[in-house]
Chain A
Amino acid sequence: MKRHRALPVAAGSALALILAACGGSYHATTQSQPKSAQTFTYDTYTPVMIDGWDPATEYSNGIIAMSLMYQTLTHYNSATHQIQPELATSWSSSDNGLTWTFQLRHGVHFHTGRLMTAQAAQAAIQRTIKENGGAAYIWGAVKTIDAPSEYTLIFHLKYASPLDLEASADYSAYIYDTQAAGSGGNLTKWLNTPHDAGTGPYTLQTWNSGQEFEVILKSYSGYWGGWSGAHYKRVVFRVVPQDTTAVQLLKSGQVSFIEQMSPTLWSSLKGTSGLKLVSAPSWQNLLGQLNTRALSQPVRQAISYGIDYKGMIAALSGAAIASSGIVPAGLLGHFTDLPNYSYDPAKAKTLLNAAGYGPGKKAMNLSLTYTQGDTNESIVATLMKSDLAKLNINLSVQSLSWPTQWAKGKSSTASQHQDIFMEYWWPDYADPYSWFINLLETEKTPYFNLSYYSDPTLDGMINKVEPLVATDRTAAEQLYKEMQVRILDTAPILFLYNSNYQYAMQNNFTGLQVNPAYPNVVFVYDLKPTGS
């Protein structure tokens, strides 16, 4: 399940955390926490490991911790747009893009002590494909995997696909020790004890499920990157649902980094000594999926013209930036010269009138659902309601918990379906494919395509585009452009805005690189603590 990532909650609203879910002690750990400069405390607002501990199926907030314990074959550097070596040191593909050969790094050990070989990597990826959870679809092109020698991994594909890029994904691309539970042991159970079977710089020390200090990681002494120089030796993930409390903790030096807070609160921290504020565009956008079965194309276009996008962005005080098409800036397929919609109530009115609706004619009643607990979405919903009211459209807005919202959208009873499904989306790897394959490809039973959009022409284009990325990048770009022009015309989705990361952190370390390919992940190993 694509976990909806909601913005910090207002206390009293329903995403409150149960801080006492475990019966028993207060979970005072027996380890003392060194109040040294060697601990990095990451403050998040929602529990970290809610999807469990299996790197094959993780599909939620857990990557902020998992990406420190586990690694992938390649790593995407969003600043340079380069795919960098990680567990693989070099790779190449055949001309037709159907065979990919990876040379693996020597001397890498799993936290279980075993050596990482091509066979181990092969086993991990094969298991991930078999488990078919999370973003396993990224391996969809893989036909077979061979490990002809200790450090050579060969993929044979059914169709051309940019495997080097897919191997750098933030979900379902981790390499882990499938033998960790021993022969005949149940790996999933072993992992969920919890244990970790990764190769990363940090390894699991304690998990206090449901508690404030939820995850504590310690450095793995045998890490292949070594520990020379200044590094953080311990990472603590602290769950604080209220952003105002988090800010207090930051100011008093008790946390190093805050993942998310309300835009006004973030702005109010400007100029505070000892703190650093970082604002950076993400690859996450807020979309409103329009029910194509209930709303005709002219009506959908009218709604697209009827939203005050600039107002929305102004109201969100820096948390949002204008979007162009469906692909955010920094990714292949982003274009600024697309026929995007702008706020044009006159045009909206004309389109609606032609369909018999609009001011002066029949009133339209639409329903919108968004995820509970997200204050930005609730502001957007209120603004949309007011914008559409001017067009004689009554928008009824419902905030639901993510599982409820999603279940309603996926319901087999079509009458249950909402007219507008508001949610965030971000890619599973540095490629626009994720938006199209998940949100726009025809689905027999609704899953993520909650516009219930079915467009055979677009389906054909979707099928063609991924192999093209591997073989002819320019052609792939062109095709992505055509696809976006098409969906702007048919308007199955409202493109509301792109999210801006707004991070606040201590001033006592350097080396932070915001990488939208790994949303909200801080690669703590790369940070250099500079002071107290």
Chain B
Amino acid sequence: MTTYVARRLALAVVVVAGVVLLTFVIAHAVPGNPAASWAGPHASPAQVAAASKYLGLDRPLPVQITRYFAGIFTGNWGVSIHTHQSVLSNIATAAPASLELVIAALIIALAVGVPAGLASARRPGRPADQAIRAGSILGVSMPIFWMALILQLVFAQRLHVLPVAGEYSPNLLFTNPLTKVTGFPVLDALFTGNWPMLGSTLTHLILPAVVVAAYPAGLISRMVRAQILDTVGETHVQMARALGLPERDVFGRYLMKLAWSPVSAAIALVFGYSLVNTFLVESIFDWPGLGSYAVASIGTLDTPAILGVTLFVAIAYVIANLIVDIVQAVIDPRIRLR
């Protein structure tokens, strides 16, 4: 087991190193003058030169690469040109909001997708199956930004049943201020017993999470269905049936377990995908996460920030994959032998 973990870990490190290198290459292949952007439009040539020195742009390329690598591991991810603050601190402030959204979306996606996939696989080919399959495909075909706008218009602006935007109602900051414990508003409200704030954070979370959940729900539903249908024909299942075991048991005990394998693999996949999908909806819902930060960085051509966000998401994705791989190895011993 340990060799397996060690191997996966080593592989992950190599991949992350490659990711860092790739982001650096992208950054420096692009024309532009970050020193000038940093120094601002008033700057004199002397000030631009000073900015260049401050940003380390005057060093030769190999030195820049080594400094970049060293910086990544020591926590110096550069300075954001448009906030003039450390990129890492910007990301650290913005990341919890995005993570909260993705996790909420994944919970919804599992709650919807797994039962749907199971129901669909129970009677394949029947109308219920066709309908659910169509629904799943609809889920993965949905343009997220459009769905966000439509839902926001219908539920928030017209029907007024859900809030329009934001993580929580800003008025509550004065009457029920939120103390930071974990950085995730929902959890913080829960842990500090701040019930008005908890209600507010949850209602604000609904629309964005539902929007982001569409794709994963569709995907999970299809994967569950496919996995079950694949295994249903296998011998041990036929054996169980031949022995006269009730369908419920066949389904419940044997197939469910097998369904989890691709689902857990899917979770890692959709985690990365959803994290990036949140970028599209964050500005629509005024959600102060990585997406809003990334969009602001794109608008101001803030290369260090764009790269920082890219790096962060890639690393999160690699870690998610690593965790899933290890969990799967724990559940399914055959994997360890590969």
Contacts and interface: CB of A to CB of B under 8 A. Distances in A.
Given A29-B173, A213-B173, A407-B41, A11 B299 contact: no
Interface in A18-63: 18-33
A212 interface: yes
A307 to B, nearest CB: 28
A26 B83 contact: no
Given A23-B89, A403-B41, A29 B292 contact: no
Contact of A18 (B174, B280, B293): B293
Interface residues of B, number: 41
A508 interface: no
B163 to A, nearest CB: 9
B164 A212 contact: no
Contacts of B41: 1, 403, 406-407, 410
B299 A16 contact: yes
Contact of A372 (B85, B92, B299): B299
Contacts of A15: 296, 299
Contacts of B97: 20
A362 to B, nearest CB: 30
B296 A14 contact: yes
A242 B165 contact: yes
Contact of B292 (A18, A32, A373): A18
Contacts of B173: 26-29, 213
A8 to B, nearest CB: 13
A17 B292 contact: yes
Contact of A13 (B90, B171, B280, B299): B299
B180 A26 contact: yes
A407 B37 CA distance: 9
B283 A16 contact: yes
A21 B165 contact: no
A14 B279 CA distance: 12
Nearest to B36: A407
Contacts of B280: 12
B295 interface: yes
Contacts of B94: 18, 20
Contact of A244 (B164, B175, B300): B164
Nearest to B89: A23
A213 B171 CA distance: 10
Contact of B284 (A11, A29, A240): A11
A242 B286 contact: yes
Interface string B62-102: 00000000000000000000010100011011100100000
Interface string B6-37: 00000000000000000000000000000011
Given A17-B296, A18-B90, A21-B85, A12 B288 contact: no
Contacts of A212: 166, 170
Interface string B151-190: 0000001000000111000110111011110000100000
B299 A245 contact: no
B338 interface: no
Contact of A21 (B37, B93, B164): B93
A404 B301 CA distance: 9
Given A401-B300, A403-B40, A241 B286 contact: yes
Given A20-B93, A28-B173, A241-B286, A12 B145 contact: yes
Contacts of A179: none
A241 B94 CA distance: 17
B37 A28 contact: no
Interface in B191-238: none
Interface in A360-413: 372-373, 401, 403-404, 406-407, 410
B164 A33 contact: no
Contacts of B334: none
B253 interface: no
B116 to A, nearest CB: 30
A207 to B, nearest CB: 15
A407 B48 CA distance: 12
Interface string A464-486: 00000000000000000000000
B255 to A, nearest CB: 43
A87 B184 CA distance: 50
B142 interface: no
A11 B283 contact: yes
B180 A16 contact: no
Given A213-B173, A403-B37, A407-B41, 4 more contacts: A15-B296, A25-B179, A25-B180, A254-B171
Interface of A: 1, 11-33, 210, 212-213, 238, 240-242, 244-245, 248, 254, 372-373, 401, 403-404, 406-407, 410
12 contacts: A11-B286, A14-B299, A16-B299, A18-B288, A18-B293, A19-B286, A20-B94, A20-B293, A21-B85, A25-B179, A372-B299, A403-B40
Interface of B: 36-37, 40-42, 83, 85, 89-90, 92-94, 97, 145, 157, 164-166, 170-171, 173-175, 177-180, 185, 280, 283-284, 286, 288, 292-293, 295-296, 298-301
Which 5 residue pairs spanning A and B have beta carbons closest together? A14-B299, A28-B177, A19-B288, A33-B174, A20-B93
